[in-house]
Chain A
Amino acid sequence: MLFNIDFSKILQLFTYQEGDPLLFSTSFFIFFFFTLLLFYRIFAYKKNLRIFTLIIFSLFFYYKAVGGYFLILIIMTIVNYYSGQILGSLKEGISKRRFLFVLTIVANLGVLGYFKYTNFFIQIINNIGSGNIDALDIFLPIGISFYTFKGLSYIIDIYIGTFQPVKSFRDFSLYMFFFADLLIGPIDRASKLLPQIQREINVPRENIGRGTYLIMSGLFKKIVIADFIGLNFVDRVFGDPTRFTGVENLLASYAYTLQIYCDFSGYTDMAIGVALLLGFNIMDNFNAPFKATSIGDFWRRWHISLSSWLLDYLFAPLQMKLRNLRMYGNAIALFITFFAIGFWHGSNWTFILFGSLHGLYMVVSIFLKKPKTQLFKKLKLSDTKLLKFSQGVITFHLVVFAFIFFRAFSIESGWDVVSQIFAFFQAGVFMQFVNAYPMIIILMVIGYVLHFLPEAWEKWTENFVVKMPVVVQALLLTAIILLVVQFKFAGLQPNIYFQF
Chain B
Amino acid sequence: MITEKFKKVILDELNLDDFDIQDNTTADQVPGWDSLNHINVILALEKAFNVHFKGIEVLRCKNIGDLQNLVNTKLNQ
Residues in chain A within 8 A of chain B (CB atoms): 160-162, 296, 311, 315-317, 319-321, 323, 326, 329-330, 334, 366
Contacts and interface: CB of A to CB of B under 8 A. Distances in A.
Contacts, number: 37
Contacts of A326: 39-40, 43
Contact of B36 (A160, A317, A321, A330): A330
B40 A320 contact: no
Contacts of A296: 36
Contact of B42 (A160, A162, A320, A366): A320
Given A316-B38, A323-B39, 20 more contacts: A160-B56, A161-B56, A162-B59, A162-B60, A296-B36, A311-B35, A315-B35, A316-B35, A317-B55, A319-B35, A319-B38, A319-B39, A320-B39, A320-B42, A320-B58, A321-B55, A323-B42, A326-B39, A330-B39, A334-B36
29 contacts: A160-B56, A160-B59, A162-B59, A162-B62, A296-B36, A315-B35, A316-B35, A316-B38, A316-B59, A317-B55, A317-B59, A319-B38, A319-B39, A320-B39, A320-B42, A320-B53, A320-B55, A320-B58, A320-B59, A321-B55, A323-B39, A323-B42, A323-B43, A326-B40, A326-B43, A329-B39, A330-B39, A334-B36, A366-B36
A129 B59 CA distance: 42
Nearest to B56: A160
Contacts of B59: 160, 162, 316-317, 320
Interface string B11-47: 0000000000000000000000001101110110000
Contacts of B38: 316, 319
A204 B42 CA distance: 43
B50 to A, nearest CB: 15
Contacts of B53: 320
For the residues of A in contact with B, the DSSP-based class is helix
Query: Which 6 pairs across A and B sit closest by C-beta, in order of nearness?
Result: A320-B55, A323-B39, A161-B60, A160-B59, A160-B60, A319-B39
A330 B43 CA distance: 13
Contacts of A334: 36
Interface of B: 35-36, 38-40, 42-43, 53, 55-56, 58-60, 62
Contacts of B39: 319-320, 323, 326, 329-330
A356 to B, nearest CB: 19
Nearest to A324: B43
A315 B34 CA distance: 13
Contacts of B56: 160-161
A316 B60 CA distance: 11
Contacts of A160: 56, 59-60
For A315, A323, A326, A366, the residue with the greatest tally of chain B CB atoms inside 10 Å of its CB is A323
Nearest to B37: A330
Contacts of B55: 317, 320-321
